[in-house]
Structure 1
Amino acid sequence: MLSIILSIAGGFTAVLIGGWLFTNSMEHISHRYRLGGSFVGAVISPVLTSLPELIVFLVALLVYGGVSGEEVAVGTVIGEPFVVSTIIYPIIFLVAIIGFRRGSRNDLVLEVGRELILPFIVVITLYPTVLLPALLGIGVIRYVIATALFIAYLVYVGLMRGKEGVVIEDVEELRFIKLARFNEDVALALQVITSVLLLYVGSKYLVSGVVYLSRMLSIDTMGLSIIIVPTATVLPESITAIIWTLGNRDTMAVAALIGEKVLYSTIYPALALVLTSWSLTYEAIISVITVETVSVAMLYHVLRGRLTWDVGLIGLVGYAIYIIALI
């Protein structure tokens, strides 16, 4: 049991540090291209911060394989939007309260730009399609849906490119800048390589810990991975959103989270539909319903330009229902 705990804890830590380093280095790369805030938040940032989940997905399939590895892979794809919708949004509102008390925020609600209507519509429209292959039981439909989701994401990126917003000027110093004797190119290369290695090693141990723990507790592997794996791998984008919330950059904070959900409503389900048998448990179905409910509630508020605390409350209720169903 101790070895399993150490495996999960060690993997969790490595993925967190790797994601932190990788995100920091990618921010410097994106800054050089002078891309606007909304585009960076809803497109660039999710692509970069979702790397931990992608590596977990690939490690589960290629290194472990079999039924357990496939269930962890699918659970990771289904679980990330679920964790963001049920846990991260309430944390964001808690951070808003802290920021308000510290004087870094003007109010307790999140003021967001209407350009975020598009990613919310994409999630609400496309995310439920991940249930169709499992519900209909038709093999070929998996490839049809996968192709459609991939094309939809490309269209989404093109549309968001025209909604860039203001260029972000504040970029934190590269973590490895002193190690590379202030040579930014060398520092950037070293930091990217180190972060990728940490993400791979951490993901491998995290997946193995989830598989062994599910066997020991006789809990469905997919159901458990929907909670544990995304809770670890969602940290990079969550930290980014938290920092932006404290700094009163609400549109950027929400864009980072909804952009991640767009990615997991299109590209990552498309990969899973092609590379796995895509068999879903009832826990997965509950998580999809929860994500849809929270997304619809948030779209209503985005249309008004203000997100209020009831969005976080809906997420917490959905999480509680899922835990009860899992137990």
Structure 2
Amino acid sequence: MAEVGGSGPGHAAEVSLVPSIGPLGVVVGILLTVLAGLLIEQLVHYMSWRYRRAAVGVAAIFAPIITSSPELAVFTVALLRGQAEIAWGSIVAQPFMAATVIYPVVILTSITAWALGRRRYKLPHVHRIVAVPLLVFTIPLLPILFLHPERYGVFGNLYGVFLLVLYFLYAKFMLREEEVEKAGVSLWLRNPLAQTGVALLAMALGAEWLVGGIKELGAAAGLDKLALSIILVPIATVVPESIVGLIFIAKGKDDEGVSVIVGEKALYSTFYPGLAMALGVYTLEEAAATALTLSIVVSIFEVVAIWFGYFGLTAPIGLAGYLYYVLCYTLHQSCPLWAPTPS
């Protein structure tokens, strides 16, 4: 991504991968991001048919790995350079943005597609089984608020290993074998490896230009750089990360779409923090703790909504949490819901 967030304001580091094309980057970025999403959606159906795996499972595992590739690169480079705050900040940001911004975007996408006649229902309808992984991957966030490898040593490392094992068990379950009646799915680029490569390239370039374009527009409008980094840039990064799920939602394939979003949450609630904790590079500051607390609260409410067959009913709660966070760390610099105990 164009910007790598730390665990709170004041911990941002910019990594530019491509030359800026100014405000035009917003349009180009959106087009490339949508193209990448369509390519990945085709790949999900192709892999489900080719390997006889549940489409919901392929969507939950394969799509998030592809769409999180820019964050994976940032996370890896930060670890290699010993920048624990940057590495951990890239992890904490995703569950927070999912709970506070992605859910409202899902609802907006669903209502818009319904108004255009592309969907049968206004709101996403999902099966209760979707609530299980969302709850399973909300619970592991709770100990992270209290567990400090720098303070508890090997016990924190072991918890990281536990999270890694949990994710692989989840992946094995989701990628269970299933009879697929649908005929062979055609790919625009014919070759799955070539289509994956082009999707990755389009995703990376689209994300860079989209974020860069928004920053240029913000600067032209005279907006403060800190406000941009907290409010506008994270919203821009939500689109590339969630585009596959949003495309499924727009087409009325709610289980697959929500599975992509839940799968992204699973990746950032178990695999990435588990790897960081197992390696002993975990750090948690007040801003990160507040973000995690908000994501946990919203996710618990979302589990209840999914249990009744709906997804995204927590959008108002999520937006309120996002505004609370923004106001806290732009006006007061600190107003934690909970702060970690000093080591």
Amino acid across the alignment from 1:317: A
Equivalent residues, number: 300
Amino acid across the alignment from 1:261: K
Bigger mean CA deviation after superposition, 155-164 or 241-250: 155-164
Verify the 8 A CA contact 2:33 2:243 in the aligned structure 1: no
Verify the 8 A CA contact 2:149 2:156 in the aligned structure 1: no
Alignment of 1:173-212 (within 5 A): 173-174=187-188, 177=189, 184-185=190-191, 188-194=192-198, 196=200
Alignment deviations for residues 142-194 of structure 1 (CA, whole Å, 9 cap, x no partner): 311111101111222333345969677695743xx3xxxxxx33xx4444445
- Alignment-derived partner of residue 158 in structure 1: 172
Q: 1:119 aligns with which of 127, 133, 151?
A: 133
Q: 2:67 aligns with which of 45, 49, 55?
A: 49
- Alignment-derived partner of residue 144 in structure 1: 158
Residues 148 and 20 of structure 1: is their aligned pair in 2 closer, same or farther, counting only changes over 3 Å? same
Quote the Cα distance in structure 2 between the aligned partners of 1:98 and 1:196: 27
Structure with more of its chain in helix, by fraction? 1
Verify the 8 A CA contact 2:157 2:279 in the aligned structure 1: no
Residues 85 and 227 of structure 1: is their aligned pair in 2 closer, same or farther, counting only changes over 3 Å? farther
- The Cα of 1:264 is off from its aligned counterpart by 1.0
Quote the Cα distance in structure 1 between the aligned partners of 2:312 and 2:195: 38
Q: 2:288 aligns with which of 274, 284, 289?
A: 284
- Alignment-derived partner of residue 92 in structure 1: 106
Verify the 8 A CA contact 2:29 2:209 in the aligned structure 1: no
Bigger mean CA deviation after superposition, 11-20 or 261-270: 11-20
1:23 aligns with 2:27: no
- Alignment-derived partner of residue 317 in structure 1: 320
Quote the Cα distance in structure 2 between the aligned partners of 1:202 and 1:280: 31
Residues 322 and 273 of structure 1: is their aligned pair in 2 closer, same or farther, counting only changes over 3 Å? same
> Structure 2: 5+ residue runs without aligned partners?
1-14, 212-223, 331-343
Verify the 8 A CA contact 1:298 1:307 in the aligned structure 2: yes
Amino acid across the alignment from 2:40: T
- The Cα of 1:241 is off from its aligned counterpart by 1.7
Q: 1:265 aligns with which of 265, 269, 272?
A: 269
Alignment deviations for residues 74-121 of structure 1 (CA, whole Å, 9 cap, x no partner): 111111111111111101111121122122222322210122122112
Give the secondary structure class of the aligned counterpart of 1:287. Answer: helix
Verify the 8 A CA contact 2:37 2:244 in the aligned structure 1: no
Verify the 8 A CA contact 2:125 2:311 in the aligned structure 1: yes
- The Cα of 1:72 is off from its aligned counterpart by 2.3
Amino acid across the alignment from 1:34: R
Quote the Cα distance in structure 2 between the aligned partners of 1:18 and 1:96: 19
Quote the Cα distance in structure 1 between the aligned partners of 2:77 and 2:182: 34
> Structure 1: 5+ residue runs without aligned partners?
178-183, 208-216
Quote the Cα distance in structure 1 between the aligned partners of 2:315 and 2:263: 18
Verify the 8 A CA contact 2:39 2:195 in the aligned structure 1: yes
Residues 298 and 200 of structure 1: is their aligned pair in 2 closer, same or farther, counting only changes over 3 Å? closer
C-alpha RMSD of matched pairs (Å): 4.0
Residues 161 and 61 of structure 1: is their aligned pair in 2 closer, same or farther, counting only changes over 3 Å? closer
Verify the 8 A CA contact 1:38 1:165 in the aligned structure 2: no
By relative contact order (CA 8 Å, sep 6+), the higher-ranking structure is 1
- Alignment-derived partner of residue 302 in structure 2: 298
TM-score by length of 1: 0.75
TM-score by length of 2: 0.72
Amino acid across the alignment from 1:111: H
Quote the Cα distance in structure 1 between the aligned partners of 2:21 and 2:144: 30
- Alignment-derived partner of residue 214 in structure 1: none
